[in-house]
Structure formats: C-alpha cells, structure tokens
Amino acid sequence: MTDAPDEGRRGPVLSVAIGGAVILAVVGVLSGRPDIVAMGLPLALWSGFAMSRGSAGGEPKVTIAPLPGSEGELRTAITVEADAEAVEMVIVQSERRTRRVIVPGDGSSVTARSKVLHSGPAIPVQAAARGLSFEGATLSKRSEIVSARRQVAPPRRPLDALPLPRRLIGSHGAHEGRRQGQGGDFRDIHAFAPGDELRRVDWRATARMARRPGDLLVRRTNTLSDSSVVIAMDTSEDLGEVVSSWGSGDLERSGVTSLDLAREAARAIADSAIGAGDRVALHVLVHGGRSLRSGSGSRHLSRVVEAIATTGQARDDATFRRTPPVPHGSVVFVLSTFFEGAAARTALMWRASGHRVVAVDVLPPLDRTRLSRAQLIGLRTVLAERENVFADLHGAGVDVVAWADDPSSALLAIARAHR
C-alpha cells in the first residue's frame, strides 16, 4: 500500500477537469472558435466550485471482524465509516493480491474471501481507506492500515496407536501397567495384608491354598496407567514441496510445507494421546518459544491445538539454547526436517536420558522440476547428509517416522514392536 494524499489534497478527477478546460480554451483561442472555448466553460466552473469545497472530511475509520467460513476459506467483514460521500478502500488479500473498491461512507461492509493455503498464523486481509467527495474531486486523509491476523488450525488426522514409554509411572489411564493396582489384568494371588480390601478376597483360592485356618488370599491385578507424551516442534525451517521456492518466501507456489506437516502431526499426536487418557506437553524448539506443561482432558487439548495453530517459522536468530524440561519416563516426538543438527542432537540427548524418542520427519515429497544441474547436486548433498543424521538416530535407538508416507501404520508397528 502506497501513501495516500494528505488531507485537503485534490483528487485526480479535479486535475482532469482543469486540464480539459485549459486545453479547450487554448484550442479555441488558437483556432478562433468561440464555441470550443464555451465547451470548456462548464469544466472551469465545476473545477472552481470543487476547489472551494475544501477537503472530504476527517480520516475514515476501518474495522475488520472475522466471519465464520467454510473449509479452506477465510471470510472477513471490512466496515468503513467516514464523513465523505464515498470511500475508496484498498484491500490486500493474503499479503499479495490488491483490490480497490468504492463503497458509500455510511458504515457499509465488504466481505473478503481468502483461500486457505497453509495452516498456522496468517494475515488474510489488510485494508486502508480514504474519503471521496464531490465526485472524487476532493480526498480525505488515508486511514491507518488495519490487518486481521488469524490462526488456522491444522486438519485432523486419526492415528491408530502411539508408542508407549518404557515404563508407565502414572496412577490412572488406559494402558496396562506393571505395578499393583486396580483395573488391569490378573497379576497374582497373594496373602491378605493390611490395606487389602475384603472384596478382593478370592474364596476359591483360599479354600484350596490356605495353609492355616483364618488365612485369606486375595486376587491382585495390575494398575491402569497413563503415558506422558511430549511434542517438540522444530520451527527453524519451513520448506515446501517445490524445491525451487525454498528461501523465496512464496507460500502460494511452494505447495505443502514442512511446518504444515509439523502442525498436522502435532495435532494428530495430541488428539490420539489425550483421547487415550494420556498427558501431553508441547514445546517449540526456539528461543522464547511457547511451552505447555503436561495435562490431559478436552480443555488442555484445546489449549494445545491453539498453541499449534499460532506456531510459525522462527526468526533467524531464534535458535533454542536450552533443552526444555521433560517429565521422567516420557515418550518424546521430535518434529523436524533434520537438516539442522540441533533437533537431532536434542533427540539424542533425550534418548540418552532414558526417554523413548520418536523422530518424525516432516519434509514433504519434493518436486525437483525447474532446478539447474548445480542445484540438483546441492540438493542431493544435503539429502545425503540428512540420511547420515537418520543413521545416527537409528544407531542410538531412536525410531524415525516419515509423516508424508503412512505415519499411522508406522507408529502402530513401532507400538506393537515395543509391546
């Protein structure tokens, strides 16, 4: 958006009228045609009257309000109020396309529809306005640029199962634990001890196995425990399917990006874990990145999804400097493209601490068209280095899952193998 004229400045319509009147007068005088001079007289009178009118009033007031939209579309209501007869609005959609519309200055509303290309934070609409009076001859001061920032939640993706930690330490949940408790499968038959409930007495076992009169035997079961799940998102890079768009910031032709897949993976893992009664924590691996402590329930899930939707690409100087805290005995999902070594080093550190770590590769399928020979060689080099990172992770006992392939089957296979 370019700067608009200051308050009281004349519009282009007035300049055209004055220029037309002058041209007609000059042509009429040079050609000796008084009728041509008379043709310019109305334009001259109208221009003088317009110049005496002054400005088009004060600065217009622009307000933006989100509207309910359909899937894949964001709808925004833009309302403008001004003292002028009409208002010219400049609307920028998705920070790329510019539209100019003329609306009445009586609080009229315009609905902008923006197509959703990516999840996460987005600015679908920016708007500014200036008043027009006397057929556009006088202009008002341009209003401030008003923008609407929205957070687009990633789509849902169901998962069949998630890997569990090596040891469940929770006291409630839906997973079979190894400690004595209630709700799980049969554990053993044990002599009655202080603290045991009488309803747990197994009378048949007591009749068969009691050694002395008065001895009671109780049936003990395992406890049902919950799992501690930690989602760690690496937002240092946002790479799209089209390799030629890397580094350009052009999200319209980049296709699905790595952060799109990371946000989708984070929501799918959180949905599956909290749906099973587990606790979920979220950490964004940047300096000053958002962190949510472990929690469960629908309210905590809403907070996690909101935090995921607000997660965008980190600044160049926002690399994380300290590993976030992880509850003891957790399963950690590290979401990254693993081009940078920081995420891999953090995953190895968590694995060395005894946690079960799953590295989720969020790099989308690559479109190598429109690449030069030198660019293809460079791409093969960085992909080979990434394979070495994955080999180091495998050697340390970290499971690697490619989210772009079939993550549900891969996570289910890992969960079954661990069981």
Residue 5 pLDDT class (50, 70, 90 cuts): very low
Amino acid identity for residue 11 in this structure = G
Q: What is the pLDDT of residues 315-324, one digit of tens each?
A: 765 566 667 8
Does one domain contain both 259 and 196?
A: no
Structure tokens at 171: 């006291």
| 399 and 274 fall within a common domain | yes
High-pLDDT (> 70) share of the chain, %: 79
Mean pLDDT over residues 198-203, rounded?
70
The distance from CA 35 to its chain's CA centroid, rounded to whole angstroms, is 67
| The last residue of a domain, from among 117, 151, 185 | 151
Query: Could you tell me if 240 and 257 are in contact, meaning their C-beta atoms sit under 8 angstroms apart?
Result: yes
pLDDT over 90 percentage in the chain = 28
Task: Please compute the mean of the pLDDT values over residues 155-159 and round it to a whole number.
Answer: 91
204 with 112, same domain: the answer is no
Please state the rounded mean pLDDT for residues 339-365. 91
- Quickly tell me which residue has 């809403």 as its tokens: 302
- pLDDT for 7 beyond 50: no
Find the domain containing 21 and state its range. Answer: 12-52
**Do 349 and 245 fall within a single domain?**
yes
Token pair 């400005």 is at which residue? Answer: 55
The pair of three-digit structure tokens given for residue 7, joined into one six-digit string: 């308050």
Q: Closest Cα to residue 265, out of 314, 335, 331?
A: 335
- Here the tokens at position 162 are 């998630």
Would residue 98 count as lying in a domain?
yes
Q: Is 50 exceeded by the pLDDT of residue 65?
A: yes
Which residue, 162, 193, 225, sits at the end of a domain? 225
Phi, psi (degrees; rounded to nearest 5) at 385: -65, -35
d(CA 398, CA 347): 8
Tens digit of each residue's pLDDT (9 = 90 or more) over 213-255: 777 876 765 556 667 899 999 998 899 999 988 888 777 788 8
> Does a structural domain hold residue 135?
yes
342 and 396 share one domain: yes
DSSP type of residue 109: E
Query: Which pLDDT does position 62 carry in this prediction?
Result: 87
Alpha-carbon Rg for the chain in angstroms: 34
pLDDT at residue 350 is higher than 50? yes
Q: Which residue intervals of 285-359 are DSSP H helices?
A: 298-309, 341-352
Asked if pLDDT for residue 287 goes beyond 80, the answer is no
What's the total number of domains in the chain? 4
Which tokens sit at 254? 């980049």
Residues 137 and 194 both lie in one domain:
no
On whether the CB atoms of residues 272 and 162 are closer than 8 A, the answer is yes
User: Does residue 45 sit in the same domain as residue 131?
Assistant: no
Q: Cβ of 70: how many Cβ atoms within 10 Å?
A: 9
The mean pLDDT value of the chain amounts to 80
Cβ neighbours for 38, distance < 8 A, ≥ 6 positions apart: 28
Same domain, 273 and 209: no
User: CA distances (Å), 7 to each of 60, 61, 142, 182, 341, in order?
Assistant: 11, 15, 8, 77, 55
What CATH number is given to the structural domain containing 361? 3.40.50
Tens-digit pLDDT profile for residues 70-108: 777 888 888 888 877 788 888 888 777 888 888 887 777
| Whether 253 and 396 share a structural domain | yes
Instruction: Please give the pLDDT value at position 199.
Output: 72
Question: Is residue 39 a part of any domain in this protein?
Answer: yes
Q: How far apart are CA 120 and CA 236, in angstroms?
A: 15
Residue 224 host element (H or E) = strand 217-225
- Distance CA(32)–CA(186), nearest Å, equals 116
Residue 133 has pLDDT above 50, yes or no: yes
162 domain-assigned: no
pLDDT in tens, 288-333: 778 899 888 899 999 999 999 999 888 765 566 667 888 888 899 9
Neighbours of 360 (CB within 10 A): 27
* DSSP for residue 286: B
Rounded to an integer, what distance in angstroms lies between the CA atom of residue 153 and that of residue 307?
A: 9
* Amino acid type, 217: L
CATH code where residue 127 lies: 2.60.40.10
Task: Please give the structure tokens belonging to residue 246.
Answer: 């890397």
- Please determine, for residue 175, whether its predicted confidence score (pLDDT) is greater than 80: no
- If asked whether residues 234 and 220 sit together in one domain, one would say no
Do 91 and 130 lie in one domain? The reply is yes
β-bridge partners, 180: 222
How sure is the predictor about 4, in pLDDT bands with cuts at 50, 70 and 90? Answer: very low
Q: What is the DSSP string of 170-186?
A: -SSSSEEEEEEEEEEEE
Model pLDDT, residue 118 = 87
Q: Answer for the pair 309, 260: CB distance below 8 angstroms, yes or no.
A: no
| Alpha carbon distances (Å) from 360 to 56, 251, 402, 404 | 59, 23, 6, 10
Same domain, 303 and 373: yes
Taking only the tens place, the pLDDT of each residue in 98-131 is 888 888 877 778 888 888 888 888 888 889 888 7
158-162, 198-202, 247-251, 272-276: which range is least confident on average? 198-202
**Pair of tokens at residue 196:** 């045991």
